[in-house]
Amino acid sequence: MKIQRYVELELDETLSNEISELLVVSFEPLYPNRRYFKQLPHLRLLAFGDEGQVVGHVGLDYRVMNLNGEPIHVLGVIDLCVKKEMQGDGIGKALLDEVIDVGETNQVDFLLLFADRPDLYLRAGFNHVDNMCTWLQIDDERQTTRGIGEASFDELMIRPVGDKAWTEGHLDLVGYLY
Protein backbone atom coordinates (compact mmCIF):
# COMPACT_ATOMS: atom_id res chain seq x y z
CA MET A 1 0.00 0.00 0.00
CA LYS A 2 1.18 3.51 -0.85
CA ILE A 3 -0.23 6.86 0.37
CA GLN A 4 -0.04 9.95 -1.84
CA ARG A 5 -1.10 13.58 -1.37
CA TYR A 6 -3.25 15.29 -4.00
CA VAL A 7 -4.20 18.94 -4.31
CA GLU A 8 -7.89 19.00 -5.26
CA LEU A 9 -7.33 21.11 -8.38
CA GLU A 10 -4.95 18.51 -9.79
CA LEU A 11 -7.26 15.46 -9.69
CA ASP A 12 -7.94 13.90 -13.07
CA GLU A 13 -11.28 12.38 -14.10
CA THR A 14 -10.24 8.77 -13.44
CA LEU A 15 -9.09 9.50 -9.90
CA SER A 16 -12.17 11.67 -9.27
CA ASN A 17 -14.40 8.77 -10.29
CA GLU A 18 -12.55 6.29 -8.05
CA ILE A 19 -12.86 8.68 -5.10
CA SER A 20 -16.59 9.19 -5.77
CA GLU A 21 -17.22 5.44 -5.91
CA LEU A 22 -15.37 4.82 -2.64
CA LEU A 23 -17.16 7.66 -0.82
CA VAL A 24 -20.64 6.70 -2.05
CA VAL A 25 -20.16 3.03 -1.05
CA SER A 26 -18.53 3.89 2.29
CA PHE A 27 -21.18 6.36 3.43
CA GLU A 28 -24.33 5.09 1.73
CA PRO A 29 -27.19 5.87 1.72
CA LEU A 30 -26.36 9.47 2.69
CA TYR A 31 -23.55 10.37 0.30
CA PRO A 32 -24.42 12.11 -2.99
CA ASN A 33 -22.98 10.70 -6.21
CA ARG A 34 -19.92 12.99 -6.31
CA ARG A 35 -16.45 13.27 -4.75
CA TYR A 36 -17.48 15.59 -1.91
CA PHE A 37 -20.38 15.95 0.49
CA LYS A 38 -20.75 19.69 1.14
CA GLN A 39 -17.59 21.25 -0.27
CA LEU A 40 -14.38 20.23 -2.05
CA PRO A 41 -11.46 19.70 0.34
CA HIS A 42 -8.15 21.47 -0.28
CA LEU A 43 -6.05 18.35 -0.10
CA ARG A 44 -6.65 14.60 -0.19
CA LEU A 45 -4.60 11.69 1.04
CA LEU A 46 -5.23 8.57 -1.01
CA ALA A 47 -4.12 5.04 -0.21
CA PHE A 48 -3.48 2.81 -3.21
CA GLY A 49 -3.56 -0.99 -3.26
CA ASP A 50 -1.04 -3.26 -4.95
CA GLU A 51 -2.84 -2.97 -8.29
CA GLY A 52 -2.95 0.84 -8.21
CA GLN A 53 -6.60 1.22 -7.19
CA VAL A 54 -7.80 3.67 -4.52
CA VAL A 55 -8.43 1.70 -1.31
CA GLY A 56 -8.51 4.53 1.24
CA HIS A 57 -9.28 8.24 1.36
CA VAL A 58 -9.27 11.25 3.64
CA GLY A 59 -9.99 14.87 2.74
CA LEU A 60 -8.30 17.80 4.46
CA ASP A 61 -9.66 21.34 4.81
CA TYR A 62 -7.26 24.04 6.02
CA ARG A 63 -8.82 27.17 7.48
CA VAL A 64 -8.89 29.69 10.27
CA MET A 65 -11.57 29.19 12.91
CA ASN A 66 -12.34 31.30 15.95
CA LEU A 67 -12.16 29.76 19.42
CA ASN A 68 -13.51 32.10 22.08
CA GLY A 69 -12.45 35.21 20.17
CA GLU A 70 -9.01 33.90 19.18
CA PRO A 71 -8.14 32.79 15.64
CA ILE A 72 -6.82 29.24 15.37
CA HIS A 73 -5.38 27.36 12.39
CA VAL A 74 -7.33 24.16 11.87
CA LEU A 75 -6.83 21.19 9.58
CA GLY A 76 -10.23 19.54 9.21
CA VAL A 77 -10.33 15.78 8.68
CA ILE A 78 -13.11 14.83 6.27
CA ASP A 79 -14.58 11.51 5.10
CA LEU A 80 -11.88 9.08 6.21
CA CYS A 81 -12.81 5.74 4.65
CA VAL A 82 -11.30 2.44 3.53
CA LYS A 83 -12.64 -0.13 1.07
CA LYS A 84 -14.79 -2.54 3.03
CA GLU A 85 -12.80 -5.65 2.09
CA MET A 86 -9.57 -3.97 3.28
CA GLN A 87 -10.81 -2.62 6.60
CA GLY A 88 -8.75 -3.90 9.51
CA ASP A 89 -5.53 -3.93 7.45
CA GLY A 90 -4.15 -0.73 9.02
CA ILE A 91 -5.00 1.56 6.09
CA GLY A 92 -7.18 3.90 8.16
CA LYS A 93 -4.44 4.18 10.80
CA ALA A 94 -1.82 4.85 8.12
CA LEU A 95 -3.96 7.60 6.60
CA LEU A 96 -4.55 9.16 10.02
CA ASP A 97 -0.81 8.99 10.84
CA GLU A 98 -0.16 10.91 7.61
CA VAL A 99 -2.81 13.50 8.58
CA ILE A 100 -1.09 13.98 11.94
CA ASP A 101 2.25 14.41 10.15
CA VAL A 102 0.76 17.08 7.86
CA GLY A 103 -0.58 18.91 10.91
CA GLU A 104 2.63 18.67 12.90
CA THR A 105 4.90 19.82 10.07
CA ASN A 106 2.82 22.81 8.97
CA GLN A 107 1.26 25.87 10.57
CA VAL A 108 -1.63 24.03 12.21
CA ASP A 109 -2.83 24.42 15.79
CA PHE A 110 -5.44 21.65 15.84
CA LEU A 111 -6.77 18.75 13.83
CA LEU A 112 -10.58 18.73 13.98
CA LEU A 113 -13.22 16.23 12.90
CA PHE A 114 -16.71 14.96 13.55
CA ALA A 115 -16.77 11.21 14.25
CA ASP A 116 -19.72 8.86 14.51
CA ARG A 117 -17.27 6.01 15.27
CA PRO A 118 -14.48 7.54 17.39
CA ASP A 119 -12.35 4.46 18.24
CA LEU A 120 -9.61 5.02 15.64
CA TYR A 121 -9.40 8.70 16.50
CA LEU A 122 -9.22 8.14 20.25
CA ARG A 123 -6.31 5.73 19.73
CA ALA A 124 -4.57 8.44 17.65
CA GLY A 125 -4.76 11.03 20.43
CA PHE A 126 -7.97 12.84 19.50
CA ASN A 127 -10.31 13.93 22.30
CA HIS A 128 -13.99 14.76 22.45
CA VAL A 129 -14.61 18.44 23.18
CA ASP A 130 -17.79 20.22 24.18
CA ASN A 131 -18.09 23.58 22.45
CA MET A 132 -21.04 25.54 21.19
CA CYS A 133 -20.40 25.82 17.44
CA THR A 134 -21.48 28.31 14.79
CA TRP A 135 -21.22 27.34 11.11
CA LEU A 136 -22.46 28.04 7.61
CA GLN A 137 -25.40 25.74 6.81
CA ILE A 138 -25.38 24.28 3.30
CA ASP A 139 -28.25 22.61 1.47
CA ASP A 140 -26.47 19.45 0.27
CA GLU A 141 -28.75 18.76 -2.70
CA ARG A 142 -29.09 22.30 -4.07
CA GLN A 143 -25.60 23.32 -2.99
CA THR A 144 -26.77 26.64 -1.67
CA THR A 145 -26.39 28.48 1.62
CA ARG A 146 -29.29 27.88 4.01
CA GLY A 147 -28.20 30.09 6.88
CA ILE A 148 -26.13 30.03 10.05
CA GLY A 149 -26.35 27.10 12.45
CA GLU A 150 -25.56 26.96 16.13
CA ALA A 151 -25.33 23.82 18.25
CA SER A 152 -22.94 21.62 20.19
CA PHE A 153 -21.99 18.17 18.88
CA ASP A 154 -21.12 14.95 20.71
CA GLU A 155 -19.12 13.94 17.62
CA LEU A 156 -16.70 16.91 17.73
CA MET A 157 -13.10 15.79 18.29
CA ILE A 158 -9.77 17.63 18.22
CA ARG A 159 -6.08 16.83 18.47
CA PRO A 160 -3.59 19.58 19.30
CA VAL A 161 -0.60 19.61 16.94
CA GLY A 162 0.69 23.10 17.75
CA ASP A 163 1.41 25.07 20.92
CA LYS A 164 -2.10 26.34 21.66
CA ALA A 165 -4.41 24.87 24.27
CA TRP A 166 -8.04 24.04 23.46
CA THR A 167 -10.65 25.74 25.62
CA GLU A 168 -14.33 25.15 26.20
CA GLY A 169 -16.74 27.85 25.07
CA HIS A 170 -17.64 29.02 21.58
CA LEU A 171 -16.15 27.71 18.34
CA ASP A 172 -16.97 29.59 15.15
CA LEU A 173 -16.06 27.34 12.23
CA VAL A 174 -15.96 30.39 9.94
CA GLY A 175 -17.34 28.15 7.22
CA TYR A 176 -19.23 24.96 6.59
CA LEU A 177 -19.58 21.97 8.93
CA TYR A 178 -17.53 18.97 7.78
How far apart, in whole angstroms, are the C-alpha atoms of residue 100 and residue 85? 25
* Coil, helix or strand at residue 121: helix
Beta bridge partners of 43: 7, 60
Strands 169-176, 156-160: pairing is unpaired
Per-residue model confidence (pLDDT) at position 41: 97
pLDDT at residue 28, rounded to an integer: 86
Q: Confidence band (pLDDT; 50, 70, 90) for 141?
A: confident
How many Å apart are CA 178 and CA 41, to the nearest integer? 10
The confidence score (pLDDT) of residue 24 equals: 94
CATH number (domain holding residue 151)? 3.40.630.30
Average pLDDT, the chain: 96
Q: Which of 10, 29, 108 is nearest to 61 (CA)?
A: 108
**Could you give phi then psi for residue 24, rounded to 5 degrees?**
-60, -45
- In the structure, what pLDDT confidence band is assigned to residue 140 with cuts at 50, 70 and 90? confident
Q: Tell me how many domains the chain contains.
A: 1
pLDDT at 30: 80
* Domain assignment of residue 37, given as a range: 2-176
Alpha-carbon gap, residue 129 to 121, rounded angstroms: 13
Q: Give the tens place of pLDDT for each residue, 2-30.
A: 999 999 999 999 999 999 999 999 998 88
pLDDT digits (tens, 9 = 90+) for 67-102: 999 999 999 999 999 999 999 999 999 999 999 999
Write out pLDDT tens, residues 143-159: 999 999 999 999 999 99
Percentage of the chain with pLDDT > 90? 93
Q: 94-131 pLDDT, tens per residue?
A: 999 999 999 999 999 999 999 989 999 999 999 999 99
Give me the mean pLDDT over the 135-141 stretch: 92
The yes-or-no verdict on residue 57 having pLDDT over 90 is: yes
Q: Is 72 left (phi over 0), alpha (psi -120 to 50) or beta?
A: beta
